[in-house]
Structure 1
Amino acid sequence: MKVTLNRVNDNFHFELKNERGHIVNVDSRPEFGGDDKGASPMELVLMSVAACSAIDMISILKKQRQEITSFKAEVEGERVQVEEAKPFKNIHIVFYLEGDIKEDKAAKAAQLSFEKYCSVSKTLEPTATIHYKVVLNGKQLEN
């Protein structure tokens, strides 16, 4: 796996490209000297956790022949000062699923994602605690 980074302007706007040619814009907020032309690197970390676990969960539920009509997630990260850096200490994710899905299968899909399959959350595990909730058809499920 390889990505390349190309600086777009004189500040902090970058285009990152993967080997298949997909481009992601990254920038810093104006208060940090950027032009806000893309997501920040730390926002991309949160996006990556959500996307990775969503892929896992949808894959698991499809294999179990569960009918998903809507899948959304909200992710919030709490950061802590460690010397000059501010890594994530806690990450909170809420998944909102709708469809003809059994509660136990939705809960198990999330559990399997975080405990076994999601490479992004496994990468963050040594430094951040990931908390998740599943809301199925408007009802919050027990973890």
Structure 2
Amino acid sequence: MKTTVNVKWTGNMAFETEVAGHKLIIDASPEAGGEGKGVTPKPLQLVALGGCTGMDVVSLLKKMRVEVEDFQMFIEGELTDEHPRHYRSIHLVYQFKGKDLPLEKLEKAVSMSEDKYCGVAALYKKAIPLTYEIRVV
């Protein structure tokens, strides 16, 4: 399977892309010479990871019949100081809210995503340390 996206320069430091009918603007901050019209590229790497693993976790918990009231992830990437700047490590916090949530099932869903299903995590793990924790509130 092949995926192709078109990322078009729209002037100065800004680019626009459309993925599956959804437009996305990418731009640098004013401090970096852009106009702040859109998101900067590196955080999109963290968003891709969150979306990939989050969809896995939601799907797996549904199959396990675990009802979650709220689920969110906090993803922190630590950038290198030297160029080319890239993430030297990424840490995910999976935060769940609900009544009587079975921790063992939450752990199983997260670990299955991290170790088996999430292609973004699999790729990132080849280059950088990827760690995670689970919180129930």
Q: TM-score, normalised by structure 2?
A: 0.91
Moved over 2 A (4+): none
* CA offset digits 1:91-139 (Å, max 9, x no partner): 0111111124311000111111111111111111121111111112x2x
- Aligned residue number for residue 67 of structure 1: 67
Distance in 2 between residues matched to 1:127 and 1:60, nearest whole Å? 26
- Structure 1: how far apart are the matches of 2:75 and 2:35? 24
| Aligned pairs for 1:115-126 within 5 A | 115-126=115-126
Partner residue of 1:3?
Answer: 5
Structure 1 residue 23 and structure 2 residue 23: aligned?
yes
1:133 and 2:129 are equivalent in the alignment = no
In 2, distance between residues paired with 1:106 and 1:79?
29
Q: Could you list the runs of 5+ residues in structure 2 that have no partner in the other structure?
A: none
Structure 1 contact 88–127 (Cα < 8 Å) conserved: no
Q: Which whole-Å CA distance do the structure 1 matches of 2:81 and 2:124 have between them? A: 16
Name the structure 2 match of 1:14: 15
- RMSD over aligned Cα, in angstroms? 1.3
Number of matched pairs:
134
Which residue number corresponds to residue 92 of structure 1? 91
